[in-house]
Amino acid sequence: MPRRVAVLSVHTSPLDQPGTGDAGGMNVYVTEVATRLARSGVEVDVFTRATSRDLPGSVEMAPGVTVRHVTAGPFQGLSKEDLPGQLCAVANGVLRVEAMQPEGYYDLVQSHYWLSGQVGFLAAERWNVPLVHAMHTMAKVKNLTLAEGDRPEPEGRIIGEQQVVDASDRILANTAAEADQLVELYGAHPSKVAVVHPGVDLDVFTPVGRSHARAKVGLREDAVVLLFVGRIQPLKAPDVLVRAVAAMVARTPSLRSTLQVVICGGPSGSGLEHPHALQELAGSLGVADLVRFVPPVDRVRLADWYRAADLCVVPSYSESFGLVAVEAQACGTPVVAARVGGLPTAVADGVSGVLVDGHDPDVWAAALCRAVADPVALQRMSQAAVGHAASFGWDATTAATLEVYRDALAGRSARLVVAGT
C-alpha cells in the first residue's frame, strides 16, 4: 500500500463549491476519496492551481489530506481553456514541493482530468513512480454528443488526452461503458483500464420525510417538483427540461397550478457567455413563473432539495457517471435521465428511475408526465432508488482505488526487476 500519494486536480480545487464555474462532480470525487484514503493510512497531497493571491500555500482539508496551491499564471480571469499554456508552471510548482522533501516522498501520482494528467506523467516519470489517471470526461466522447450550438473540444485536448492514456500505468473508468470507450477511441490496453464506480456519501444523502424537506426549502406541500442540479451549460442540457416543462403545461394545462421546477446551480463553461439565457428561455416559453433558480448549496442543504423533489431530472448530453443521479436516489428521489454515458449504470431503468432516449423536449415531456401521473409507481421507484444508491458508497470506491494503486505499484516493481536483470 502506498504511504503517500500526490493527487493532481489542476483546474479546480476540492475546496471549491460544486455546481458553478468548473467545480462539479470531480471536486466531490477528489474530496471523498482523498479523505477516505487518509483514513486508510495513506497521506494525500492534492495539488491545484491557486486562484487568489490570498490563498495560503497549503491547507489541511482533513486529517492526512493537504491541499497545496500552485501559482501558475494570473490568479483570476483564466478559463479552463487557457490552462494548457500554464501547465509548465504548474509542473514546476509540483516538482518544487517534492524537491524539498526526502527522496522517495511520493509513492504514486493520481491525476484527474487531462490537464492534470499532462502534469502527472511528467511528475511520475521524474519521481519514477506509477501514474494512475482518471479521465472524468473525454473530448472524443463529448464531440460525438454535442449539444446544439455548443463548441467541440479542440484538437489540442484530444492529443493531450492520448498522451496521458499512453503514459499512464493504470486508468480509472467510471463504468464499463467508459472502459470500452478508452479502448476503442484511445487505444488503451484493456489490462491498464480498471472500472471503479464513483460513490455517494450515504451518511449525508439519506431518505427523510418529503414534507419536512419542503418546509425547509420553501416549497408547497401539494406541488409537483422537478429538480435539476448541476452546472448551467449546454452539455448539462437544463434547457431541455425547461422546454419539456413548456410542452407539459401545453399538453396538460391543469399542471400549471401545481408544477414547480427548481434549477440548482450556476453558469459554467460556454454557459458563462450567456449567464441568463435559461431565465430568458423560460420567459420566452411562458413558464418563467414555474421555474425557480437556486444558487449552488452545500451538501446538507442539497440533500434537502433532493428530498423535496418528486423527480430529479438529468438530461445531459454526456455524463461519465452522474453523481447527481446517485445522490438523488440515495435521498429516495427517482431520476429521469438521458440514456448516455454512465447514466444507465447510475440509474436502474424502470426500477429506480427512467432513462430517456435523445433530447427531444416533447419526448421528455411525455416521460415526465407519465412519471408524475402515477404516484404508486413513483413511490415504488422511490423505495427502489434508496437500495440502488446504497451499492455506490464512497468506501467501496476508495477500497477499489486502493486495489488499483497496489496493482500499479506491483507492476512498476516488476518492470524495475526485469530492467535490472
Could you list the residues known to form a binding site for Mg(2+), using ranges. Answer: 306-307, 309, 333
Cα gap 25→121, rounded to integer Å: 23
Q: Could you tell me which residues are annotated as the binding site for UDP-N-acetyl-alpha-D-glucosamine?
A: 17-18, 25, 231, 236, 297, 319, 327
Chain CA centroid to CA 299, Å: 14
Nearest Cα to 39, choosing from 60, 7, 65? 65
Q: Could you tell me which residues are annotated as the binding site?
A: 11, 17-18, 22-27, 80, 113, 137, 157, 231, 236, 297, 306-307, 309, 319, 327, 333
Q: Could you tell me which residues are annotated as the binding site for 1D-myo-inositol 3-phosphate?
A: 11, 22-27, 80, 113, 137, 157
Question: 311-314 and 43-49: which strand pairing?
Answer: unpaired
Cα gap 282→286, rounded to integer Å: 6
> Which cell numbers hold the place of 377?
409507481
What's the burial of 349, exposed, middle or buried (CB within 10 Å: 0-12/13-18/19+)?
Answer: middle
Amino acid present at 206: T
Q: Alpha helix locations (H) across 218-354? A: 238-251, 277-284, 299-308, 323-330, 343-346
Question: How long is the chain?
Answer: 421
- CB 94 within 8 Å of CB 123: yes
Amino acid present at 381: M
> Which cell numbers hold the place of 358?
435523445
